[in-house]
C-alpha cells in the first residue's frame, strides 16, 4: 500500500527530527459516563504532561453510533480527528478506505508484538501494519448474580443452560425475576451469543466467523434458538427497551437473580458500593467456563498533517500501551488490561478470573471475538443477525426452525 509506505516514511522522519515536539491530538470517543470519563482523563493528563495539547471530541451515546456518524461526516469532509475510538472489523473498513496511519515504529519501540496476545495485536493491524492501539479487553460471557436472592429462593448457581432453566423456575416461583434483561437488540444478541457459545468454540467460530450456511442451519443452531426462547419467560414484563444498567440495578437491589452481561456491568456494582464475592458474584455464562468472548476497545490513528501533530499522535499511541495507563483505565472501566504481565494486585476477584481465563483461553482456541459487540463480523452482518435474533425473541409466532432459515438468508443477503 502506497499510503502506508508514505505514512511510514513521514513518521520515521518526524520521529528522527524531534521526539520532544509538542503537538495537538484530537480524540473522538464516547466514554462519557462517570467511570469512563474518569478513565479517559488519565490519558488526557498523561498527554498534557508530555507537553501536548489534548482536544477532546466526545460524542455521547452508549454504542457509539452517533460518534461514528460524526466521524464519517468529518472523514468525508477530509478533516478526520487524529484518533478515534474504533474497534474490531471496523478498523479494517477504515483501513480499506485508506484513512489510517502507520504505528509500526511505536509498536516496535514498545515491543507490542510480545506484550499483546496475538489475537489482540492482529485486530489492531491493517494489512500487516499497526494502525490502532488497544485500551482494554472486556469479557462478554459473564453472568452476574445476587447470592441473597439465590439463598431465599433455595436455588443454586447454574453451570449449564438446562440447569439454568431448572433453577430459574425455582427463582420465579419464589417471586423474583430470574433474569434481569433489557429488550434492546444488542442485549438480546449478548444473551443469544452466550447460549450459542455453550455449544462449543468450534460451533461458534463456524457460525459467527466463517458464517457457514450449514452451521447456521444446523440442529445445534435450532437448539440454541429454542434455549434462547425459553429465557423469554424468565424476564419481567417491563423488559422492553430497558437499558442494560437499569437491568443491572435489578440484580443489585435484589429484584432479579441474574444478568448475562459483559464486565462493564461490574462498574455499576462498584458504583453502588457492592463488593465482589459478597454482595454479588460473577460466573462465566452457563456452559462457557473455559471460553472467553472478547470485546476490545481501541483508538485507531488517522492520517494527520504536520510533524507536531504526528509526533503527538505517536506519543498518544505509546502512552496507551504503557502499564500505568492500562492499569488506571481498566480499574475505572471494569475491564482488564490489553497487555499481558501486568501487576494485578489492585484488581478485584472478577477481574482476576477474567485475566486467568484470558490467558488460558488464548492457548486453547477458546478466545473468541464477540459477534454481539461487533468484533467478529462487519456491521452489516451483525445487524442482520441481530434483526433475526431480536425479532424471534419477541415474537410468539416464529418457530426455531423458521428463525434458523431466516438467519441463514439474512446473513447471505447482508454479506453480498
Partner 1 sequence: MTTKSANSGSRTTQSGRPARLSLADWMPKLVMAPTVVTTIVCIYGYMIWTAVLSFTNSRMLPTYKFVGTAQYERLFDNDRWLVALSNLGVFGGLFILICLVLGVMLAIFLDQKIRAEGAIRTIYLYPMAISFIVTGTAWKWLLNPTNGIEKMMIELGFEDFRFNWLSDPDMVVYCLVIAAVWQASGFVMALFLAGLRGVDGEMIKAAQLDGAGIFTTYRRIILPSLKPVFFSAMVILSHIAIKSFDLVASLTNGGPGYSSDLPANFMYTHAFNRSQMGLGSASAMVMLGCVLAILIPYLYSELRGERHE
Residues near partner 1 (CB under 8 A): 65, 68-69, 72, 75-76, 93-94, 97, 183-185, 236-241, 378-380, 382-383, 387, 390-396, 406, 413, 416
Phi, psi of 134 (to 5 degrees): -80, 140
Query: Residues in the chain, how many?
Result: 416
Least separation, in Å, of the C-beta of 89 and partner 1?
A: 10
48 or 240: whose CB is closer to partner 1?
240
Kindly report each contact of residues 219-224 with a partner whose C-beta sits within 8 Å and lies 24 or more positions away, as own/partner.
Answer: 221/196, 221/404, 221/407, 222/400, 222/401, 222/404, 223/199, 223/400, 224/192, 224/195, 224/196, 224/199
What lies within 8 Å, CB to CB, of 296 at 6+ separation is 87, 88, 120, 123, 134, 136, 137, 138, 338, 375
DSSP 196-240: HHTT-HHHHIIIIIS--HHHHTSHHHHHHHHHHHHGGGGS-GGGB
72 or 202: whose CB is closer to partner 1?
72
* Residue 130 near residue 107 (C-beta atoms within 8 A): yes
Least separation, in Å, of the C-beta of 65 and partner 1?
A: 5
Cell numbers describing residue 186 = 444488542
In order of 17, 44, 133, 234, 277, the CA distances from 283 in angstroms are 51, 34, 29, 19, 10
∠382-384-216 over CA atoms, to 5°?
85
The Cα–Cα gap between 58 and 375 comes to 22
∠184-188-194 over CA atoms, to 5°?
150
93 or 223: whose CB is closer to partner 1?
93
DSSP 8-state secondary structure symbol assigned to residue 117:
-
Least separation, in Å, of the C-beta of 29 and partner 1?
A: 17
54 or 99: whose CB is closer to partner 1?
99
* Residue 176 near residue 256 (C-beta atoms within 8 A): yes
DSSP 8-state secondary structure symbol assigned to residue 52:
P
100 or 137: whose CB is closer to partner 1?
100
Helix (H) or strand (E) holding 379: helix 379-394
235 or 367: whose CB is closer to partner 1?
235
Least separation, in Å, of the C-beta of 302 and partner 1?
A: 14
Least separation, in Å, of the C-beta of 42 and partner 1?
A: 29
Least separation, in Å, of the C-beta of 321 and partner 1?
A: 27
35 or 183: whose CB is closer to partner 1?
183
1 or 359: whose CB is closer to partner 1?
1
Least separation, in Å, of the C-beta of 379 and partner 1?
A: 5
310 or 390: whose CB is closer to partner 1?
390
Strand, coil or helix: what is 254? coil
Least separation, in Å, of the C-beta of 394 and partner 1?
A: 4
Dihedral (C-alpha) 165, 170, 173, 174: value to the nearest 10 degrees? -140
Least separation, in Å, of the C-beta of 228 and partner 1?
A: 13
Amino acid at each position: 500500500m502506497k499510503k502506508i509506505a508514505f505514512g511510514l516514511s513521514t513518521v520515521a522522519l518526524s520521529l528522527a527530527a524531534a521526539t520532544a515536539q509538542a503537538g495537538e491530538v484530537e480524540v473522538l470517543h464516547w466514554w462519557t459516563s462517570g467511570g469512563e470519563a474518569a478513565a479517559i482523563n488519565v490519558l488526557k493528563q498523561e498527554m498534557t504532561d508530555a507537553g501536548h495539547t489534548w482536544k477532546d471530541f466526545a460524542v455521547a451515546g452508549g454504542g457509539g453510533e452517533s460518534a461514528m456518524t460524526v466521524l464519517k461526516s468529518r472523514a468525508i469532509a477530509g478533516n478526520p480527528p487524529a484518533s478515534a475510538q474504533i474497534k474490531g472489523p471496523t478498523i479494517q473498513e477504515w483501513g480499506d478506505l485508506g484513512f489510517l496511519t502507520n504505528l509500526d515504529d511505536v509498536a516496535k519501540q514498545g515491543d507490542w508484538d510480545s506484550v499483546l496476545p496475538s489475537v489482540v495485536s492482529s485486530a489492531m493491524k491493517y494489512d500487516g501494519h499497526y494502525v490502532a492501539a488497544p485500551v482494554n479487553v472486556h469479557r462478554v460471557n459473564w453472568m452476574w448474580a445476587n447470592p441473597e436472592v439465590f439463598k431465599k429462593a433455595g436455588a443454586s448457581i447454574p453451570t449449564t443452560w438446562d440447569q439454568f432453566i431448572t433453577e430459574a423456575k425455582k427463582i420465579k416461583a419464589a417471586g423474583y425475576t430470574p433474569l434481569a434483561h433489557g429488550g434492546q437488540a444488542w442485549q438480546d444478541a449478548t444473551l443469544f451469543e452466550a447460549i450459542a457459545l455453550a455449544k462449543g468454540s468450534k460451533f461458534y467460530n463456524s457460525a459467527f466467523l466463517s458464517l457457514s450456511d450449514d452451521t447456521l442451519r444446523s440442529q445445534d443452531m435450532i437448539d440454541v434458538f429454542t434455549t434462547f426462547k425459553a429465557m423469554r419467560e424468565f424476564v419481567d414484563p417491563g423488559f422492553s427497551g430497558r437499558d442494560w444498567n437499569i437491568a443491572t440495578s435489578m440484580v443489585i437491589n435484589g429484584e432479579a437473580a441474574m444478568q448475562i452481561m459483559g464486565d462493564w456491568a461490574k462498574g455499576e456494582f462498584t458504583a453502588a458500593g457492592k463488593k465482589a464475592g459478597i454482595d454479588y458474584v460473577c460466573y462465566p455464562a452457563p456452559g462457557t467456563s473455559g471460553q472467553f468472548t472478547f470485546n476490545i476497545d481501541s483508538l485507531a490513528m488517522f492520517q494527520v498533517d504536520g510533524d507536531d501533530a504526528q509526533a503527538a499522535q505517536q506519543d498518544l499511541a505509546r502512552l496507551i500501551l504503557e502499564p500505568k495507563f492500562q492499569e488506571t483505565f481498566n480499574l475505572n472501566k471494569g475491564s482488564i488490561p490489553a497487555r499481558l504481565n501486568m501487576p494485578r494486585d489492585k484488581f478485584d476477584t472478577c477481574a482476576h478470573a477474567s485475566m486467568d481465563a484470558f490467558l488460558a483461553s488464548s492457548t486453547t482456541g477458546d478466545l473468541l471475538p464477540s459477534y454481539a459487540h461487533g468484533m467478529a463480523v462487519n456491521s452489516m452482518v451483525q445487524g442482520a443477525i441481530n434483526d433475526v435474533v431480536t425479532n424471534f425473541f419477541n415474537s410468539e409466532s416464529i418457530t426455531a426452525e423458521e428463525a434458523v432459515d431466516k438467519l441463514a438468508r439474512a446473513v447471505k443477503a447482508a454479506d453480498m
